Structure 1
C-alpha cells in the first residue's frame, strides 16, 4: 500500500501512530504552525515539557476542529524531573497543560539522570499507562545500553525510541537494536536543521523535482522511520507534507545512506552515550 499522510505505524502498545509528525522544539508560540498542520492533514504533534508549549499544542487541537481522538500527541519528561514521584507529577501537569484526559505517547526525554533515576522514571510511566493517563510510553535519546538496562530489570519494553536521525547521523547500532525488538524509531532533526548544501541531496532533489527538505523526510519514511520535521512557518509546515507523490529508487536511497558520518554527524545534542 502506498504511503499517505495518515499512514500509521502500529506500535507494540496496540495503538497506531501517524508516520509523519510535526516537531515543535524551540517554538514556544507554536499555535500557528500546529493549527496549519492540523488543517492540512497532520495528525501527529511532538511536544515536550522542556519545550514549554504543551498548552499551545492543546489549544491548536481544540481550535482545529479535528476530533481529539484523531490527533496523536507526544510529550516528554526531561532529566531534571526524573524520578518516580516527580514523573507522576509531570504527567499530571502535562495533562493539565494540554487540556486532555490522556496523552498518546509519553517519553523519557533523555538518559542523563543516571541508571537508577532512569529506571524509577520508567516505572512511573508504566504506572501512568496502567492508570489510563498515557496510551503508549517510550524513550528518547536512548542508546543500546540504556535500553538493555530496562530489559535486564525485567520491565516492559519501550514502544518508541526518539533519536536524532538523518543521513549524516544514522545511529545504525541503535536502529538495529530497536528494529529487532519491535521498538518504533522516531527521527528528530530529520531536515538536518536546514543544512541543505550537500551536493548529493541537491542532486537527488533536482532529479525528483522536490526540495531537499522533502527528499530528507521521504528518505526517513522509506527507511521505516517516523520523521518529525519542525518548522515555525505554516507554509513550510504544509510543504513538508508533499512527500507522497514520489518514491526514491534504491540507488538514490543508497547514495543518501552513504552520507553517514556516525556520531560525528550529530547536529548538536546526542546523549546516547550518557552514563
Structure 2
C-alpha cells in the first residue's frame, strides 16, 4: 500500500524567513497516514526510457534538494524502473529524525511541482502534478510580493554582519561579506538556493494545462531570480557598511546599525537630503 503524508502548511513558504524545525506534534506515525487514492492530476516521468529528455536532470535536482535538507542523513536517490525517482531514507535514522527529514523532503519536493508519495522509509517522486504546480505558482507570487521592499533584507544583513563580527572579530572584509551573504541567501532569502537546485531541469509536459503551468513557473522564477539578485546586491552593501562601522569606526550596537543604514541610504539615494541625527527608523528604503 502506498501512502501520502499529511504535513502542516509552511507559513514561511512565501516569505523570506528561515523555516523552523518541525514541532513534535506534527510528527505522525504510520497509523495516521492516509491511503493514497488514485489520481489523474499527475504525469509519470519516463526517467529510464528518456534520460536525455530530463531523467538525469531530475535525479540531479532531487539529489541536490536532499543534500540541502537531510543534514547528517544520507538519503539514497535511485531511478524507478517505470519512471520517477525513489528517495530511500535508510534504516539508521531514529523514528523522530526520520519523520523530520521526511516532512522536509516531502514539502520541498512537492513545492517543485512534483507528485510525491511516502511509502514506509522512502519517498517516490512520480512526475508533474497539476495541483502541486498550481501551489508552486501561488508560492512564487507570494515570494515576489515579499521582495518588493528591501528594508527587511537590509535589517537581516546588518544583524547577520554584527553576529559574524562578534564570532570572527579578525575576519577580513571580503571574507566577512562572502560568509554573511551566503548565510543570508540560505536562511533569509532561501529562493536563490531553491532555484539553483533546479538548474538544467526540463519543464516539459504532454498535458496542455501542466505545460502552461510550467511556462508560468519559469517566468515567475526569472522574475524572482532578478528580485533576489537585487536584494543580494543591496545586502552586500549593507554588510560592508556594517563591517566598516564595527572595525574602522569602533561603533557598537544601535550606533553601528544606524550608521550602516545611513551609509547605505546615501549610497543608494545620493540626492536625498541628510537625515536628522538619531536612530534609523525601520523600513527607510
TM-score above 0.5: no
**What TM-score, normalized to structure 2?**
0.26
Larger Rg: 2
Query: Would you tell me which structure has more helix in proportion to its own residues?
Result: 2
Which TM-score applies when normalising by structure 1? Answer: 0.27
